[in-house]
Amino acid sequence: MNLSFPLWHVSGLDNYSIPRPAFVHKAKSEVEGVVPPASIGSCPQASFCGSDMRAAYYGGTALTGSGQNIGLLEYAGYDIADVNTYYTNAKQTRSFTVTGISTDGTSVNCTEPSCDDTEQTLDITQAGGMAPGVSTIFMYVGSTDTALLGSMSTRTPLPLNLSASWLWDPSDPSTDDPYFEKMATQGQSYFNAAGDDRKFNAGYPTWPADSAYIISVGGTDLTTKSAGGAWATETAWSDSGGGFWAPDDILIPAWQQLSGVINSKNEGSTTYRNAPDVSANANFTFYVCADQTTCTANDYGGTSFASPMWAGYLALANQQAASVGAPAPGFINPAIYAIGVGSNYDTDFHDITSGSNGYPAVTGYDLVTGWGSPNGSALINALVGSGGGGPAVTLAPTSLKWSKIVVGVTASGKKVTLTNSGTGTLNISTVAISGDFALATVKQTKTVTPCSNGLAVPAGGTCVIKVTFTPTQTGVRTGDVTFTDNAGNSPQQVPLTGTGEN
């Protein structure tokens, strides 16, 4: 039997996409007339350590990321000596392991004068500062996006908490999306820095910060109550990347179409994907050690710092999820947008309402800070739940087959039954199917409960999703069913596959 498959993508044959890290030196802002205020951190010269971000955004001690791993995407290797210098100077002890993984033969070692490891070292210290108890921080090092993303979505052990502080500009951005979709189905949370070039424009790459399948992280200017102290105030960081980018043709996803998300005040697009989704401190207030030279204080900033913070924060959430037998939060965008338009928004997020990057920071969602920064353990509880015995989603079947699709005629829908297989009640906000499937609807029958907004499905209860296909959808199709719970539990995703032939 002869089998033939279309070629999907070939990487590494051109230099069309030149990746660039999303950190920036203070001198850039000083030239533009914006001088950052002095910080009150715990590291030398009152700069912020990664542990200061943990104190401000989590504030507790129960969760450390224990049992979790973090994966960082890097286009160059690292020098562990710089990481050790940072921890020595910060008078802290590093307990986690740093392991380099070459995804395509690229060296995992980076030493001056031939290589600069500033980005890579700050990624480690920010992720580890937020989640000091993680087992391992894996450094995925490579020269092409597909090699990096392919390894991050397949290697064992599979880190659930992922971050990239790089932006690139591939000739066909959609070639990366299947990796991001796969990560979502596996419960991985992939964060990407939104960049430091202010309002999205033609001069700088925005990918993959504007992908509909990743969690995009913007920047803020944070003030704490003291060194190592609690959150005090926060404004939008003027250099934070954000906006919508029509040339990439990324249409607005369903979770950004919720009522109240896009409005005239935030100037968002009702046609294209808006970014960022969340944010954290990115001002020039950090302590950085790199290249085995003198460490710097209050000189570097950028969304490069904010993205690994969020990966560390999700490591805390995944630790809690594991402890109560709940599913990993995974791709959190459907959940956080539901939270944003819900009654508990101000409990779960710090809403940033002042400042601008060319777009204004406003009440609620905006194109500078997204929904804002995490507000302690409240957001973790909203994403995971604070106790066991919660709801869970299963599908039957998870594999569909259809055949003999006539061109110009839409195939009949296939029914998939969603069952609450947990012990708690499902309080459905949305049920949506993403990926290759053309349309997912809900259908009520006499024997099952429909999946609809506001529906409470008891343990063992069911509802039916109807999936239809377009005539062109032959071959193997993949997607995932995302269930969002309006009771504040984590969104749950179940993979769905299908096979069709003409």
Angstrom CA distances, 458 to 390, 426, 487, stand at 11, 6, 13
Query: In angstroms, rounded to a whole number, what is the distance separating the alpha carbons of residues 400 and 392?
Result: 22
> What is the CATH topology of the domain spanning 20-384?
Rossmann fold (3.40.50)
Tokens standing for residue 256 = 């950004």
Q: What angle do CA 23, 317, 333 make, to 5 degrees?
A: 65
Q: Are 384 and 321 in contact (CB under 8 A)?
A: yes
Comparing CA positions, the residue from 238, 247, 262, 248 lying closest to residue 214 is 248
Per the omega criterion (within 30 degrees of 0), is the bond before 276 cis? Answer: yes
Helix (H, G, I), strand (E, B) or coil at 108: coil
Sign of CA dihedral 89, 95, 101, 107: positive
Neighbour tally for 115: CB within 10 Å: 15
Q: pLDDT tens digits for 22-62? A: 656 666 545 444 555 557 899 999 999 999 999 999 998 99
Q: Is the peptide bond before 157 cis (omega within 30 degrees of 0)?
A: yes
Assigned fold of 393-501: Immunoglobulin-like (2.60.40)
3 state SS of 148: helix
Residues 183 and 20 sit within 8 Å (Cβ to Cβ)? no
Which residue ranges of the chain lie beneath pLDDT 70?
Answer: 1-17, 20-38, 202-203, 246, 385-414, 420-460, 466-502
H or E stretch covering 345: helix 345-348
Residue boundaries of the structural domains of the chain: 20-384, 393-501
Instruction: Tell which residue, 474, 445, 475, 479, has the closest CA to residue 462.
Output: 445
Q: Mark residue 367 as left, alpha or beta (left: phi above 0; alpha: psi -120 to 50; beta: remaining).
A: alpha
Per-state percent for the chain, helix, strand, coil, to nearest 5 = 20, 30, 50
Strands (E), 56-210: 69-74, 97-102, 136-141, 161-164, 166-167, 189-193
Q: What pLDDT sits at residue 171?
A: 77
What's the pTM value of the predicted model, to 2 decimals? 0.77
Q: List pLDDT tens digits, range 394-419.
A: 666 666 665 544 444 445 566 777 77
Q: What is the sign of the dihedral through the CA atoms of 343, 347, 350 and 354?
A: positive
